[in-house]
Structure 1
Amino acid sequence: MKNTALITGSYGGLGKCFVKIHGEKGGDMILVGRSQDKLDAQAKEASEKYEVEIHTIAVDLSKPEAAQTIYDTCKASGWLPDIIINNAGFGGQGDFARERRSMEQDMSMIAVNVETPTRILKLFLKDMIERGSGKVLNVSSTAAAMPGPLQAVYYATKSYVTSWSNALWRELQGTGVTVTALMPGAMQTGFASTGGLTDTKLFANAVEPYQVALDGYNAMLKGELNCISGLPGIQKPFMSLAPMFPKKTMLNFVYNQQIAGSANR
């Protein structure tokens, strides 16, 4: 396999874009997701379209053994990823202590957004360092820059992803390996509908995901620290001004942006 990218959440909205971008560059791929049927269909289509070699690993990324399964499968098969794109993740709206947020939903979110990507890099980075080359793109969010009432756990997981990615970027200097955090704004993917956020101000001007994926992919190739992309409407000035807002004012603003039905108010 050549110029091989391991992509988690490959058949989701942003994941499909990464597959397209990497495939068009002639790169082989290891696609990771929960549904073997969806992976098979995606692999067949992409391999025929881009004439590249594609393998799949079906695994539930919310399970603690998922990363080890991915790593062991790659090692046993002789698949050596040159690029790792930790793209899989999900959110969900609701008051943390009441309403729709169950213990299982939030623990699963932490597992997929935080635990499994951490385990994946804990396993794969040592091989990349030994080879003296490798590129990592961790998909975070602009949500990492602030607390998120009504998405308390999701915002916190993305804060972890950005902080962790940035720390690794520094630790890996001189090894030939880089880690980049992609911080998108609201996008037109399945994230909003799955999380119950389609009817909110936050997603009223959601952007197409392809340019976001392309910006992140190119930033990864350059070894950049962070890539902020896809900020619609009010998010652009808000991101630049957020550090200057009083914390309580910012919390009230974020809360109001995420109330269901607010897009029509």
Structure 2
Amino acid sequence: MENRKGTGKTALITGASSGIGQELAKLFAQDGYNLVLVARSVETLHRLAEVFELNYGTEQVTVIEKDLSEEDAARDVYEQVQAKGITVDVLVNDAGVGLHGKFATETDWEAEKSMVNLNVLTTTLLTKLYLRDMVARNEGRVLNLASLVSITPFPLMAVYAATKAYVNSLTQSLVNELKGTNVTVTALMPNATDTDFFNKAGAADVVATDMVDDPVMVAKDGYEALMSGKPKVVPGGLVNKAYEVMAYVAPQETMAGMMRYTLTPKHEIAQKVREQRPTIWAVGLGLAAVAVSGIFLATRHRQAALAE
């Protein structure tokens, strides 16, 4: 591939060692950005840096090894970048983790606390520190990884969904606060994606793992929305848009039942099908009806938007 001339701008990406974060880093590299890559897997980041320099002519890749679930990790990253004299033009808060299990009896508090530190505190402080600089320059972009579950209940990953609801709410509030500036904030709201997320969350065999989206597609849609200054984006086609519409119009208990199904281990579903086939068929038909209604509403919403 032909090397591209650098833009002179820099994107800082957390969680860049794999999944959506890695695909986003690739897109920035292809567009000539310098990079600051932050993750615990420093060897992976150095290999990525070599690939970007070779394939895209990336002029500068700074690697920072950091466990972002640690207290004050965000401030430490910010100060390291400042000490190197790097101006961050785009911040991507991609790093995040989940945890599977019943909140009351199965999940571990220390793991949940670490997740809140990473998904909420680090994301918030990095956003605050870099937005302050961006507003002072009147230029910059922030992409925060939310999720479709930021607008739905998510039984068996209750704390994870709550952290993403926080990220989404924070992002949409900042969109309003930043009106009149050249600084934008975008929430990326993907459906389940084919990354190592479920495995790390202790949910490698749940139903959702059979319904995952391509991280390349998710990153591409997120990147385009970020560069267009959109407040949010739900990657993928009409089905994912329908899920978003359903989250706003369907009863919360209905959504909770649907979402819990996606986090149920596949062997449990198979057992229930054998034991309660008529009930399962009734539930399936009910979920299908809700899905069709969501697709219909999403289509109407899209047609109305195009007509405006």
The size of the alignment, in residue pairs, is 263
1:6 equivalenced with 2:12 (yes/no): yes
Report the counterpart of residue 247 of structure 2 in structure 1. 242
Q: Which among 94, 100, 108 is matched to residue 87 of structure 1?
A: 94
Report if the CA contact (8 A) 1:201-1:262 is conserved.
Answer: no
Report if the CA contact (8 A) 1:204-1:263 is conserved.
Answer: no
1:202 equivalenced with 2:191 (yes/no): no
Report the counterpart of residue 81 of structure 2 in structure 1. 74
Structure 2 spans left out of the alignment, 5+ residues: 1-6, 271-308
> What whole-Å deviation, never above 9, does each CA across 1:118-167 have from its counterpart, x for those lacking one?
01111111111111100110011001011211000000000001100011
1:35 Cα shift? 2.6
1:131 equivalenced with 2:137 (yes/no): yes
Q: Which among 146, 150, 153 is matched to residue 152 of structure 2?
A: 146
Report the counterpart of residue 214 of structure 1 in structure 2. 220
1:175 Cα shift? 2.0
Report the counterpart of residue 168 of structure 1 in structure 2. 174
User: SS of the counterpart of 1:126?
Assistant: helix
Moved more, 44-53 or 160-169: 44-53
Q: Distance in 1 between matches of 2:43 and 2:30?
A: 23
Report if the CA contact (8 A) 2:37-2:64 is conserved.
Answer: yes
Report if the CA contact (8 A) 2:218-2:235 is conserved.
Answer: yes
1:225 equivalenced with 2:228 (yes/no): no
User: SS of the counterpart of 1:56?
Assistant: strand
- The change in CA–CA distance for 1:230 and 1:69 in structure 2 (over 3 A counts) is same
Q: Which among 46, 67, 71 is matched to residue 52 of structure 2?
A: 46
Amino acid at match of 1:71: Y
Report if the CA contact (8 A) 1:201-1:263 is conserved.
Answer: no
Q: Distance in 2 between matches of 1:95 and 1:185?
A: 21
User: SS of the counterpart of 2:23?
Assistant: helix
> What whole-Å deviation, never above 9, does each CA across 1:194-245 have from its counterpart, x for those lacking one?
1233322223121111111011111011110110013696x55333223332
Amino acid at match of 1:82: D
Report the counterpart of residue 97 of structure 1 in structure 2. 104
1:15 Cα shift? 1.1
Report if the CA contact (8 A) 2:152-2:252 is conserved.
Answer: no
Q: Distance in 2 between matches of 1:171 and 1:130?
A: 14
Moved more, 85-94 or 197-206: 197-206
Moved more, 145-154 or 252-261: 252-261
User: SS of the counterpart of 1:221?
Assistant: helix
Report the counterpart of residue 18 of structure 1 in structure 2. 24
Report the counterpart of residue 251 of structure 1 in structure 2. 256
1:262 Cα shift? 5.8
User: SS of the counterpart of 2:189?
Assistant: strand
- The change in CA–CA distance for 1:187 and 1:230 in structure 2 (over 3 A counts) is farther
1:111 equivalenced with 2:117 (yes/no): yes
1:255 Cα shift? 1.5
Report if the CA contact (8 A) 1:186-1:207 is conserved.
Answer: yes
Report if the CA contact (8 A) 2:40-2:66 is conserved.
Answer: yes
Higher relative contact order (CA 8 A, sep 6+): 1
1:38 Cα shift? 2.2
- The change in CA–CA distance for 1:189 and 1:232 in structure 2 (over 3 A counts) is farther
Report if the CA contact (8 A) 2:221-2:235 is conserved.
Answer: yes
- The change in CA–CA distance for 1:98 and 1:263 in structure 2 (over 3 A counts) is closer
Q: Identity percentage over the alignment?
A: 37
User: SS of the counterpart of 1:181?
Assistant: strand
Q: Distance in 2 between matches of 1:79 and 1:139?
A: 23
User: SS of the counterpart of 1:196?
Assistant: coil
User: SS of the counterpart of 1:238?
Assistant: helix
Q: Distance in 2 between matches of 1:104 and 1:93?
A: 14
Structure 1 spans left out of the alignment, 5+ residues: none
Q: Distance in 1 between matches of 2:138 and 2:238?
A: 38
Q: Scaled by the length of structure 2, what TM-score is found?
A: 0.81
